[in-house]
Structure 1
Amino acid sequence: MILGIGIDIVHLPRIASLITRRGRTHLAKRILSPKELEEFIQRFPHEDSVLDQQVKYLGSRWCIKEAVYKALYPIHKLEWKQVTVAKDQGKPILHVVNGQVYGIKRSHVALSHDGEYAISQVVLEG
């Protein structure tokens, strides 16, 4: 049974602007789960690490998490850090804190980038 379907699109220059105004650490700590934050810091140990790659990483997570939120809303309202995005052979996979409570048995994630945009779709099964 499908619990929900969510989709989101992010204009990556918006993420770059947030990083420029607030700093990458501020944005990363706001939206990333502890596991994702650890991975982000390992991949980009310095503020001056390649900005485009940081934007793509943070923008992808933002996009996927928004799609998860939309898939469960209005029954459940998740917070950013309740969703962890990992990779399995290059494909994004989800770990939702207390996913069983929300009835999530399986999740399917699609993510695509094109120029200044990232788009994701999430299907949650119960």
Structure 2
Amino acid sequence: MIIGIGVDVVQVSRFQEQLAKAPGLRERLFTPAERQLNLRSLAARFAAKEAIAKALGAPAGMNWQHCQIDVDAAGAPHVVATGTVADVADAKGVKRWHLSLSHDGDVATAMVVAEG
């Protein structure tokens, strides 16, 4: 059963400007492992986190440190939800996440399906 879907698009150059204006933003949005990634990968992960929030109904109080976008040995992205994000997902009955990331030129995008 589909619990929710979400999609988000990020303009990489605008995202870069926001990170430059608010240096603490990188620490607030991304886990320590994610912070080491290049700008386009960060933009795609931000889009993924926004898409995850949309799939969950955009509830208040979720901490982005509790949502990491990781990759498996084959390079496929997947959601690692802990803390506040896992709590909301569990309450909604999410058992599995399906995630697709893409970036091309100045655009990064993510699509997520929360499955129960």
After TM superposition, is the score higher than 0.5? yes
Amino acid at match of 1:20: A
Which residue of 65, 77, 88 corresponds with 1:92? 77
Q: Is the 8 A contact 2:3 2:92 kept in 1?
A: no
Q: How far off is 1:22 after superposition?
A: 2.3
Residue of structure 2 equivalent to 1:105: 95
- The residue correspondences of 1:26-65 to structure 2 (distance < 5 A) are 26-32=24-30, 36-37=31-32, 39-40=33-34, 43=36, 53=38, 55-65=39-49
Please identify runs of 4+ aligned residues in structure 1 that moved more than 6 A: none
Amino acid at match of 2:70: A
The whole-number CA distance in structure 2 between the counterparts of 1:84 and 1:121 is: 15
Structure 2: runs of 5 or more not aligned: none
Closer/same/farther in 2, CA of residues 86 and 70 from structure 1, 3 Å limit: same
How much is the aligned-residue C-alpha RMSD, in angstroms? 1.8
Count residues with an aligned counterpart. Answer: 109
Q: Is the 8 A contact 1:28 1:58 kept in 2?
A: no
Please give the secondary structure, in 2, of the residue aligned with 1:100.
helix
Structure 1: runs of 5 or more not aligned: 45-52
Structure ID, larger Rg: 1
Q: Is the 8 A contact 2:34 2:68 kept in 1?
A: no
